[in-house]
Each structure stands twice: as structure tokens, then as C-alpha cells.
């Protein structure tokens, strides 16, 4: 569906050049919810603007559904953009227009007849959960409702790709979850390819199938969300994962836990998928004469399955502790000794 080939964007700042996107190579499959995460200045906003032709690359190409949008004229680019819609952090609604008129606007521009516009607006209002609010103005809506209008407007021309530029960062956590649930529902119903950029790992964890981590204009880590949660490789990825799991393995964390639990062995367990539902600790306690104390734990649910981390204090004789750890490894639980006596 989307292919980025050696994509770069260099800006002339007047004081020199700034490379915002640096040789990005990426494939996004049809119907995929793909997340791009990075801190401010990572290049993710520039990258998403390259995807819909709002920015021209310095080098490389953007191919969407077989069409290289970096190599077409302005007329064809305008036509191609109808298949690539975008929703924004600050909604970008027309404040003098009602909900219905905001959703209708791109259809007017496309020259869709009035009757068909009305029919399409009705479908979209139902889809995004705004039935009964068609005649309200943006000033009369909550933040979540405004974003639902933005989503409906973006879907008006039946796009193949929906780009989300920090679409939930201006919303409270509960409203964020409702908008993310709506995006998942739209993805499943319409088979829409969704690409979103964010700095919040909760967003990636909740709805994305795969994720690219950006830093300094480059993609430094890429993979299925569940695999990235299970075994993040780069330090920046570990920091993002720690936003959700709260089990960052920094030396300070280990030292603090060691002070709180001075005896025995501290181990970190990682459970993935069906493992999170298995009574592995019950089996461990019944099988070995060791004392188990749960120090810290968290389970996060992704689109590909659940991911759980657990830090345990195990006390007992060293042979029994070694056998207990060997048992966990045999159960395909990723086990890491964090500290011991």
C-alpha cells in the first residue's frame, strides 16, 4: 500500500541545512494500523507531510497504491490526495459551519451532487457516533466530538489511507481511548490503512499493529508492537515502553528495588500472548520450596495480544532458586536476573 524508498527531506534554515527525514525506508501493508513514534524534533511530522504531498522530498520517493506521488504533476497530485486523508491535533474545523456542513465541505469541493452529499453525511454522522449533533457548531462540541467531526470529514471522499497527526494529544485520557476505539472500528469496518504519529506509547500499544521509532530523522527501530514491547532494542524505545509498563531497567531502579528487598534474588519475567493467562506462578510455588514476593507488575494489551512484565523476589536455597528459574525458562517465560545476594 505505502512504500517509502530512501526518503529524505532537508530544510534550508538560513543558518545552514537541517535534515528532518534521513533516508527512511518503510513498507506499510493495506489495512494496517501503523504507528510512528518519536519525541519532538524526531522528524515524524515532516514524514507524515511527505506521505500526503504537503512536502516535497529532497530525495527518495513515496509510492501509495502503486503511484509515486513524488513524481506526478500538481493536477494528478490533487487527485491522489483525495485518497489520502488527514486528521489533526487541533481539529482544523470551520467554526462558522455546522457539524453537517463541516463533513460536507470536501464533498462540495469534489463536486458531489447535493443529494449524494446529504446521504454520505448521514452515513458518516452515524459511523462516528454524532447522530443528533448534525446542526451543532464546533463551539458547542467537546474536544472528543470535534475530533469525531474531523474523522468524519476525512472519510467523506472514501480515502484509502487515513493519516493521524497527533490526533489525540489534545484530549483527556478517557476521550483519547474513545477516539482510538473509533479508529480501530473504522479500520475493521472499512479496511482502511491508518498511519498515525504520536509521542505517546499508550496510543501505539492500544491500536497499532506495527510501530516505527524515529530519532534524528531516522527509523531506529521497527517491528510488531508486541515484539517491540517484549524486547525493545534501542534506549529510546525502552523509554517509550516504560511509559506503559513502568518497569524500566535502569540502574537506579534496580538499586532502589535492591534496597527495598535486600534478600533473595530479584528477577524480571516477561509474558507474551497466551502466557499472560497461564497459572505459571502457581505451578512454580507448588513445585519448589521457595518464597515468592511480587514486587512490581503490569499487563498491557496490544492488537496482537497481551504483554506482561513481573518483577519477583525469590528467597530460598540457591539450588532451589536455580531450579525455579530453569522451570520458568522451560515454560518459555523470558527471565532476567536483576539483582541477587
Numbered ranges of CATH 3.40.50.300 in the chain:
2-244
| pLDDT tens-digit readout, 168-191 | 888 899 999 999 999 999 999 999
Question: How is residue 81 written as a grid cell?
Answer: 490526495
Residue 94 predicted with pLDDT over 90: yes
CATH code for the part of the protein at 246-339? 3.30.70.260
- Position 182 scores a pLDDT of 95
| Rounded mean pLDDT, 160-174 | 91
Residue 143 predicted with pLDDT over 90: yes
Contact 254, 332 (CB under 8 A): no
Question: How is residue 183 written as a grid cell?
Answer: 479508529
What burial letters (b/e) apply to 70-101, b meaning 16+ CB within 10 Å?
A: beeeeeebeebbebbbbbbbebebeeeebbbb
| pLDDT tens-digit readout, 196-249 | 999 999 899 999 999 999 999 999 999 999 888 878 899 999 889 877 765 555
Contact 312, 292 (CB under 8 A): yes
Strands (E), 122-224: 161-165, 193-198, 210-215, 218-224
Residue 274 predicted with pLDDT over 60: yes
- Position 252 scores a pLDDT of 61
- Position 52 scores a pLDDT of 87
Closest C-alpha among 205, 242, 209, 236 to residue 221: 236
- Position 73 scores a pLDDT of 82
- Position 185 scores a pLDDT of 95
Q: Give this prediction's pTM.
A: 0.82
Mean pLDDT of the chain: 88
- Position 341 scores a pLDDT of 52
Band (83; pLDDT cuts 50, 70, 90): confident
Half-sphere exposure of 23 (CA within 13 A, CB side): 1
Residue 87 predicted with pLDDT over 60: yes
CA gap 332, 311 in Å, rounded: 16
Band (254; pLDDT cuts 50, 70, 90): low
- Position 339 scores a pLDDT of 59
- What is the 8-class DSSP label of residue 38? -
Numbered ranges of CATH 3.30.70.260 in the chain:
246-339
CA gap 124, 182 in Å, rounded: 12
Closest C-alpha among 276, 53, 182 to residue 62: 53
Closest C-alpha among 200, 129, 205, 194 to residue 163: 194
Query: Which of 6-15, 83-92, 179-188, 268-277 is the least confident region?
Result: 268-277
Share of the chain above pLDDT 90, in %: 54
Q: How many CB atoms lie under 10 A from the CB of residue 156?
A: 24
Find cell 509521542 and name the residue.
199
Band (147; pLDDT cuts 50, 70, 90): very high
| pLDDT tens-digit readout, 287-324 | 888 888 888 777 777 887 777 778 888 988 889 989 99
Contact 206, 168 (CB under 8 A): no
- Position 246 scores a pLDDT of 59
Residue 239's φ and ψ, nearest 5 degrees, are -65, -40
| Rounded mean pLDDT, 189-194 | 94
Band (340; pLDDT cuts 50, 70, 90): low
CATH classification of 2-244 is 3.40.50.300, yes or no? Answer: yes
- Position 300 scores a pLDDT of 73
Residue 3 predicted with pLDDT over 80: yes
- Position 103 scores a pLDDT of 96
- Position 312 scores a pLDDT of 86
* Integer Rg of the chain from CA: 24
Amino acid at each position: 500500500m505505502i512504500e517509502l524508498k530512501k526518503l529524505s527531506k532537508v530544510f534550508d534554515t538560513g543558518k545552514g541545512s537541517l535534515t528532518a527525514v534521513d533516508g527512511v525506508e518503510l513498507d506499510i501493508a493495506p489495512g494496517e494500523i501503523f504507528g510512528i513514534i518519536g519525541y519532538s524534533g524526531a522528524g515524524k511530522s515532516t514524514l507524515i507531510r511527505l506521505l500526503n504531498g504537503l512536502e516535497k522530498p529532497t530525495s527518495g520517493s513515496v509510492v501509495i497504491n502503486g503511484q509515486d506521488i513524488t513524481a506526478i504533476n500538481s493536477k494528478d497530485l490533487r487527485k491522489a490526495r483525495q485518497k489520502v486523508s488527514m486528521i489533526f491535533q487541533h481539529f482544523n474545523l470551520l467554526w462558522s459551519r455546522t457539524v453537517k456542513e463541516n463533513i460536507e465541505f470536501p464533498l462540495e469541493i469534489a463536486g458531489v451532487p447535493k443529494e449524494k452529499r446529504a446521504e454520505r453525511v448521514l452515513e458518516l454522522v452515524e459511523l462516528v457516533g454524532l447522530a443528533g449533533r448534525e446542526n451543532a457548531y464546533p463551539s458547542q462540541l467537546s474536544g472528543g466530538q470535534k475530533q469525531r467531526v474531523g474523522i468524519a470529514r476525512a472519510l467523506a471522499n472514501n480515502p484509502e489511507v487515513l493519516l493521524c497527526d497527533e490526533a489525540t494529544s489534545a484530549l483527556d485520557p478517557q476521550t483519547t481511548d474513545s477516539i482510538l476505539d473509533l479508529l480501530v472500528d473504522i479500520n475493521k469496518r472499512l479496511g482502511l490503512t491508518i498511519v498515525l504519529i504520536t509521542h505517546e506509547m499508550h496510543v501505539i500499544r492500544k491500536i497499532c499493529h506495527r510501530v516505527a521509532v524515529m530519532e534524528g530523522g531516522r527509523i531506529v527501530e521497527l517491528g510488531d508492537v508486541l515484539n517491540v514491547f517484549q524486547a525493545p532494542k534501542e534506549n529510546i524505545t525502552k523509554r517509550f515502553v516504560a511509559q506503559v509498563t513502568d518497569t524500566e531497567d535502569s540502574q537506579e531502579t534496580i538499586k532502589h528495588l535492591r534496597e527495598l528487598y535486600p534478600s533473595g534474588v530479584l528477577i524480571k519475567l516477561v509474558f507474551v500472548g497466551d502466557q499472560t493467562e497461564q497459572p505459571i506462578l502457581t505451578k512454580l510455588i507448588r513445585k519448589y520450596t521457595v518464597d515468592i514476593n511480587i514486587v512490581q507488575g503490569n499487563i498491557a494489551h496490544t492488537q496482537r495480544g497481551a504483554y506482561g512484565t513481573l518483577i519477583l523476589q525469590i528467597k530460598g536455597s540457591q539450588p532451589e532458586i536455580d531450579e525455579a528459574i530453569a522451570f520458568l525458562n522451560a515454560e518459555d517465560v523470558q527471565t532476567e536476573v536483576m539483582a541477587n545476594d
